[in-house]
Structure 1
Amino acid sequence: MTKILIIGPSWVGDMVMSQSLYITLKQQNPDSLIDVMAPGWCKPILERMPEVHRAIDMPIGHGEFNLKARRKLGIELRSEGYDEAYILPNSAKSALIPWFAKIPKRIGWKGEMRYGLLNDLRPNKKAFQYMVERYVALAHPKQAMVNSESLGGLDSLPRPALTIDAQVQKNTLNKFGLSTESKIFGLCPGAEFGPAKKWPEAHYAEVAASVSKEGAQVWLFGSQKDVETCEKIRSLVPQEQQHQVVVLAGQTSLIEAVDLLGACDTVISNDSGLMHVAAAVGCNVVAIYGSTSPKYTPPLAEKVEMVHTDIECRPCFKRECQFGHLKCLKELPASSAIEAIQKLDAIAVSKC
């Protein structure tokens, strides 16, 4: 039996996409045990990944060096007898714990000063277009992993798939007084990364008005930071339809949001962690891109439409618009998302 330690990412979307690596490792070695060390908030998500044996809390804050604590944690892990470690973040500090733990095989991409800390160092990360490819490539021998073609293309990779417990989901629906008797659209208008990912509230409201006019429910998801945004969207929907729009932002835990997204038919989202969650629970996804690009972190859903402008300054991957105009988002009309929804509906009807 091979024991594997993963040093996981700290962002929701990256954590979801990393499941493709765990699936691949289990396909290669079904008897392996995979433990993932990540921030405590990740634990509920990791518990929805059947490939993960145990989630280990990373007690050191994101960005904090704390060499003493990392050394102590690594020494404590020596007794676990791990055979391999996969270090997904690019920082040197993220590679310290497996090194202190004396794990024989330590695998990761070339990053900041990781020579010696990793003994299976991969130098050609940029030869792989998608982040999920970069994760999965680590499961294969370095000599075979030359570029994206080595993996057979994005469609050949295993997709993240978070499990949904039907009873837990029912309890969550009851807790918030929600019904699944009519079609449900989820809207995820937040973006932890920054405003250059946030589609305007008025555009989201136009989408909400369009689908609610057809009798659908609209659930607005996000963190406490997104409450004001979500309330603004609801207020912009015609008053006679506002009873169909429910603001869940700031009300749910992350895992409750996972279960409620799992009840949605289609989710319209900025390029955010919740976008990747929606894809991983089987929703149709309409993904809205501003400063970022679907050529790097697309939602790994079976049925997905990606909308963006072709303005020459995007993608810039900036947190804030360097020109101050946010044209890549403001000039992306609500009609583009509504048309994407109609395309997905047409695909669903044609398959019936």
Structure 2
Amino acid sequence: MDPILVVSFPAIGDFIRSHSAVRIIARQFPDRPIDVVTSSIAAPLAEMMPNVRKAWVLDKKPILKSLADRYRLARQLREQKYGTAYLLTSATKASLAPWMAGIPERVGYPREFQFGLVNRFPADWWQQLLSLGKERLRLYDQVCDIATLAKETPPVEGWPAPKLVILPEQMEDWRGRCGLDLTRPSLALYPSAPDDRRAWPIDRFISVAKDYSRRGWSIWIIGAKREREATDQIRAAVPEAINYHSTLTDAMCQIAASTMFVGVDGGPAHAAGALGVPCVLIFRSNCSYEGGPVNHDVRLVEPPISTPGRIGGALGVSVDQVLDTMMRLYVDRYRSQSG
């Protein structure tokens, strides 16, 4: 059977969220291999995605270099003889490589009027075009509509949630290298950068870390270069806190090995949800529905409705609110495992 190409998103969080579409496509065409296109940053995650065979890399570059890269990618794609390409992003540039590769069926929304580059549309494409992007569905709904051509009613339990699976040998290798105490429960914290509009005040993360450290939990901080300032502040206040990972795969292993994940909106938060880790995620007002993970053991916390929109960030979320949500999630998870 002709393989299928899914042109996904470059950002880690959006790439993970798009896995719902991959799972739907795999259910519809179980005999057709599925490959994805994403950025070099997100590509390692493709190895952890069920139903994904391989990832093609395409990074954002200046226009001339970008066109050259897309042409080179198109030549490689042509050799694979793909029968269908699903364009999960509606950007014109995303449809260029599949078109140049001569993939006969190119499915997506023509929101940028890329008729011809895209030649098969979901059933509601006309309404989406008329909205001119003003009334777009949340990304989760959008990619699932593309995968089903908007012809199926979502099941009562919702479309399949994104899923990441770490191979046992990868986890064993990480455990052998990390030297961490894995006998105690562990809390993974993702604070983001202090100047990020999605950030929660660092002093509140420190309060949560101190509280769980006193309970005997290990404190693991998830953060790379961008989060270094926040990481340093937490470690200065909670010296026993550990920031251990050097690669994206290591970060995924650290998240997967944690007992609970607490953080703000971002790639690691979506990864934690997809890995099945109990999560408490802090969002800006009116943003959790649009941008939050849809996985089962995720609890979304945001300021009261009376808090001004997206301007005030997550300042309206208190430490007590987060600690209470963490406790209720932990108890619910324990009861479900015991029952």
Per the normalisation by structure 2, the TM-score is 0.89
Q: In the alignment, which residue of structure 1 is the partner of 2:2?
A: 2
2:142 is the alignment partner of 1:134: yes
2:296 is the alignment partner of 1:302: yes
Task: Quote how far apart the aligned CAs of 1:315 are.
Answer: 3.8
Letter in 2 for 1:120: R
Partners of 1:37 and 1:212 in 2: CA distance: 41
Aligned mate of 2:164, from 162, 165, 186:
162
Q: In the alignment, which residue of structure 2 is the partner of 1:345?
A: 330
Partners of 1:94 and 1:191 in 2: CA distance: 29
Distance 1:10-1:336 versus aligned 2 partners, 3 A rule? same
Q: In the alignment, which residue of structure 2 is the partner of 1:177?
A: 179
Native 8 Å contact 2:7 2:86 kept in 1: yes
Aligned mate of 2:316, from 331, 335, 348:
331
Deviates more, 1:222-231 or 1:204-213: 222-231
Partners of 1:290 and 1:62 in 2: CA distance: 31
Q: In the alignment, which residue of structure 2 is the partner of 1:55?
A: 55
Letter in 2 for 1:247: N
Native 8 Å contact 1:6 1:85 kept in 2: yes
Distance 1:130-1:8 versus aligned 2 partners, 3 A rule? same
Partners of 2:298 and 2:215 in 1: CA distance: 21
SS in 1 for 2:291: coil
Task: Quote how far apart the aligned CAs of 1:138 are.
Answer: 1.2
Partners of 1:109 and 1:283 in 2: CA distance: 33
Task: Quote how far apart the aligned CAs of 1:114 are.
Answer: 1.6
Task: Quote how far apart the aligned CAs of 1:173 are.
Answer: 2.5
Task: Quote how far apart the aligned CAs of 1:62 are.
Answer: 5.2
Task: Quote how far apart the aligned CAs of 1:350 are.
Answer: 2.6
Q: In the alignment, which residue of structure 2 is the partner of 1:101?
A: 101
Letter in 1 for 2:155: G
Native 8 Å contact 1:287 1:299 kept in 2: no
Q: In the alignment, which residue of structure 1 is the partner of 2:191?
A: 189
Q: In the alignment, which residue of structure 2 is the partner of 1:262?
A: 256
Alignment of 1:60-139 (within 5 A): 60-61=59-60, 64=63, 66-122=66-122, 123=125, 124-125=127-128, 129-139=137-147
Letter in 2 for 1:350: R
- Per-residue CA deviations over 1:228-286 (Å, capped at 9, x if unaligned) read 2111022233xxxx32x1123xx421111001100011100101000000011110000
Q: In the alignment, which residue of structure 1 is the partner of 2:242?
A: 246
Specify every segment of 5 or more residues in structure 1 that has no aligned partner in the other structure, as ranges: none
SS in 2 for 1:218: strand
Task: Quote how far apart the aligned CAs of 1:171 are.
Answer: 2.0
Deviates more, 1:165-174 or 1:17-26: 165-174
Native 8 Å contact 1:83 1:105 kept in 2: yes
SS in 1 for 2:86: strand
Identity %: 24
Native 8 Å contact 1:44 1:255 kept in 2: yes
Q: In the alignment, which residue of structure 2 is the partner of 1:218?
A: 219
Task: Quote how far apart the aligned CAs of 1:342 are.
Answer: 0.7
Partners of 1:156 and 1:88 in 2: CA distance: 19
Native 8 Å contact 1:197 1:291 kept in 2: no
Q: In the alignment, which residue of structure 2 is the partner of 1:272?
A: 266
Letter in 1 for 2:187: F
Native 8 Å contact 1:265 1:283 kept in 2: yes
Letter in 2 for 1:273: G
Task: Quote how far apart the aligned CAs of 1:39 are.
Answer: 1.4
Task: Quote how far apart the aligned CAs of 1:291 are.
Answer: 5.7
Per the normalisation by structure 1, the TM-score is 0.86
Distance 1:347-1:91 versus aligned 2 partners, 3 A rule? same
Specify every segment of 5 or more residues in structure 2 that has no aligned partner in the other structure, as ranges: none
Task: Quote how far apart the aligned CAs of 1:313 are.
Answer: 5.8
Task: Quote how far apart the aligned CAs of 1:45 are.
Answer: 0.4
Task: Quote how far apart the aligned CAs of 1:141 are.
Answer: 3.2
Partners of 2:62 and 2:22 in 1: CA distance: 25
Give the aligned CA root-mean-square deviation in angstroms: 2.2
Task: Quote how far apart the aligned CAs of 1:112 are.
Answer: 2.2
Letter in 2 for 1:25: I
Task: Quote how far apart the aligned CAs of 1:70 are.
Answer: 2.2
Paired residues, number:
328
Task: Quote how far apart the aligned CAs of 1:115 are.
Answer: 1.9
Partners of 1:166 and 1:152 in 2: CA distance: 32
Partners of 2:224 and 2:285 in 1: CA distance: 21
Deviates more, 1:301-310 or 1:202-211: 301-310
SS in 2 for 1:186: strand
Q: In the alignment, which residue of structure 2 is the partner of 1:287?
A: 281
SS in 2 for 1:106: strand
Letter in 1 for 2:10: S
Partners of 2:302 and 2:184 in 1: CA distance: 29
SS in 1 for 2:42: helix
